[in-house]
Each structure stands twice: as structure tokens, then as C-alpha cells.
């Protein structure tokens, strides 16, 4: 786990690496195969996983390219309102992101709620919700 700290000691970025591979089992949905080859029966929420991936990709594109939000939205043919809602997912607590990516998030955590309702930026408060 990599951590990047600010001069004042505040945690800015925390990278978490989760080794896994996805294996298809017959006609059923894919399962996550953990490093010890045990199958996790948790079902991943594809919408949440894709939205988190988009959020990270879009943030990277916006930060690395000399492009403003309006031009980015025009290029992607999306509204600014939607792009900003998706980008907000980058502010989720790392352990919530890990839970989503591994399919261990609570069933009550759905993309629609994350995009429609504002959530606190404080990670402890996010976990309580």
C-alpha cells in the first residue's frame, strides 16, 4: 500500500493493490479468484465498478491533457453535470473503493444513490453512511 503525504502530514493519496483474476464458471457470472485460488461468492456490481473506472480515467485525462471540462464534455458527448457526478466518485474512501472493486460492498450501496445524493468528503463519515 503506497501513501503520499502532504507537508502538514495529511494523507493525500493512498494506493491499494489487490491481486485477483476473474474466471468464468460455466454459464454463471464471473467469480473473483483470490490469490489463494479460493472463490469469492460475492457478486460485483458492474455499474459501480465501471463508474469508478470511468471516474479515475476521466480524472487522469483531465489532469494530464491541456483540456478544460467544457471541451472534455463536448469531446465525450456528455453533460458537465453527469461528468462532475462521476468524477465525485474519486473522493470515495479507499476502503469503500476496494469493497466495490472486490464485490464486498453492502447491497444497499448502489450507483444511483452515489450519483444523485451528495456524500460527505470525510472518509469516516462516508463509512458511517
* Strand spans (E) along 1-129: 2-5, 11-15, 21-23, 31-33, 39-40
The yes-or-no verdict on residue 79 having pLDDT over 90 is: yes
Q: Which of 101, 86, 111, 84 is nearest to 15 (CA)?
A: 101
Angle (deg, nearest 10), helices 46-64 and 94-102: 130
E strand or H helix at 113: helix 111-116
The yes-or-no verdict on residue 116 having pLDDT over 60 is: yes
Q: How confident is the model at residue 107 (pLDDT cuts 50, 70, 90)?
A: confident
- Average pLDDT for the chain: 80
Domain range for 78 is 2-128
The mean-pLDDT minimum among 12-16, 30-34, 41-45 falls in: 30-34
Q: d(Cα 66, Cα 74) in Å, to the nearest integer?
A: 14
The yes-or-no verdict on residue 15 having pLDDT over 90 is: no
How many domains does the chain divide into? Answer: 1
Three-class SS state of 69 = helix
Amino acid at each position: 500500500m503506497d501513501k503520499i503525504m502532504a507537508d502538514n502530514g495529511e494523507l493525500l493519496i493512498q494506493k491499494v493493490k489487490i491481486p485477483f483474476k476473474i474466471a468464468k464458471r460455466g454459464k454463471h457470472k464471473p467469480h473473483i479468484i483470490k490469490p489463494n485460488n479460493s472463490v469469492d461468492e460475492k457478486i460485483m456490481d458492474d455499474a459501480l465498478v465501471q463508474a469508478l473506472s470511468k471516474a479515475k480515467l476521466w480524472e487522469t485525462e483531465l489532469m494530464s491533457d491541456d483540456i478544460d471540462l467544457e471541451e472534455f464534455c463536448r469531446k465525450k458527448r456528455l453533460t458537465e453535470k453527469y461528468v462532475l457526478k462521476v468524477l465525485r466518485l474519486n473522493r470515495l474512501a479507499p476502503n469503500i473503493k476496494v469493497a466495490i472493486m472486490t464485490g464486498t460492498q453492502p447491497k444497499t450501496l448502489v450507483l444511483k444513490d452515489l450519483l444523485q445524493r451528495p456524500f460527505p468528503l470525510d472518509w469516516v463519515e462516508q463509512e458511517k453512511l
